[in-house]
Amino acid sequence: MTSMKILIADDDRVSRALVKGIIRRLEPAFFEAENGLDALSVIEREDPDVLITDLRMPVFDGFELIAALRASPDHGRLPIICLSSVNERDEIERLAAIGINDYVRKPPRAAELLKRLNKISREHSHWKTHRASWQGKGHPGTVIIIDRDAEYRAFVRSVLEPEFEVIEAGTGADGLRELRAHHTMPSVVLVADGLQLLPAEMIPALVRRAVTEAGAVQPLVLLLTEADVVPPEKASKFDGLVRRSQQPDEFLARLELARAAGAHR
């Protein structure tokens, strides 16, 4: 237990201090985050063993954080304890559906929190040796972006590399050629709205056909759009939607949410 790394995500500094005071006797390494986006950054950087998170946080709340993690190939099995005042039945059922490991009411009682943490430590201590992986022929970090805007493609590349291999295409036809010619299948295909000649809504079916012919696992095909509302008939052709953003953290958060939604379709 002395080497356990614990991340506490809560926008309330007093709540974080209370949790730290309770579990300090376990002698863990502590990390803190004020919202879900900060928590994702800490997780990528520090690779904690357990996450204790509030649900109601600004910027990126606990529900969004959990959904993003459960869609992650590297951190999908990170043990999560939710710490919140939420007690409505439908909210608790929602938590169970997205895959938390345990739930503790605020303010936490020391004995209860320590009992839950010890239980998770015993049952999930080897999760890092069995990290979730994306199956199939595709490289787990390969993304194809099909977008007319070369500057935006460069922005996406700058955000995703080096964690992902990024393949760029300016048209739907070029994207499909890259897909068929590349030595590995992608895990995600980002298709920008507003493509000419071969429109975005035609591309998902063509991608899936090519991947089926290659005998590989289907990637998530996500629509990259500036629209606040996408017509249901168009949206249904994709595994998820990603709102266009020029802010790196915001773009990554939206991408993770779309991956999480697509993984459960």
pLDDT digit string, tens, across residues 211-253: 888 877 888 999 999 988 889 999 999 998 999 998 888 888 8
Q: Is the pLDDT of residue 171 over 50?
A: yes
Using the predicted structure, report yes or no on whether residue 18 has a pLDDT greater than 90.
yes
Cα separation of 179 and 158, whole Å? 21
pLDDT score for 120: 83
Domain ranges of the chain: 5-130, 142-263
The predicted structure's pLDDT at residue 126 = 67
Please give the pLDDT value at position 263: 59
Structure tokens at 68: 């993003």
**Dihedral pair phi/psi, residue 118, rounded to 5°:** -65, -40
Q: How confident is the model at residue 63 (pLDDT cuts 50, 70, 90)?
A: confident
* 227 three-class SS: coil
The two three-digit tokens of residue 110, written as one number: 């020391």
Q: Assess contact for 214 and 137: CB atoms under 8 A.
A: yes
| CATH of the domain spanning 5-130 | 3.40.50.2300
pLDDT at 252: 86
Amino acid at 131: R
Query: What are the backbone angles phi and psi of residue 163, rounded to the nearest 5°?
Result: -65, -30
The answer on pLDDT for 262 being more than 70 is: no
Q: How many angstroms separate the CA atoms of 56 and 48, rounded?
A: 21
Residue 137 has pLDDT above 50, yes or no: no
Is the distance from CB of 71 to CB of 30 less than 8 angstroms? Answer: no
Check residue 108 and report its DSSP letter. Answer: P
| Integer Cα distance of 252 and 226 in angstroms | 15
CB 196 within 8 A of CB 171: yes
- CATH architecture, domain 142-263: 3-Layer(aba) Sandwich (3.40)
* pLDDT tens-place string over residues 110-129: 999 999 998 888 777 767 76
Higher pLDDT, residue 241 or 185: 241
Categorize the per-residue pLDDT at 17 as very low, low, confident or very high, splitting at 50, 70 and 90.
very high
Does 100 score more than 90 pLDDT? no
Identity of the residue numbered 226: E
3-class SS at 260? helix
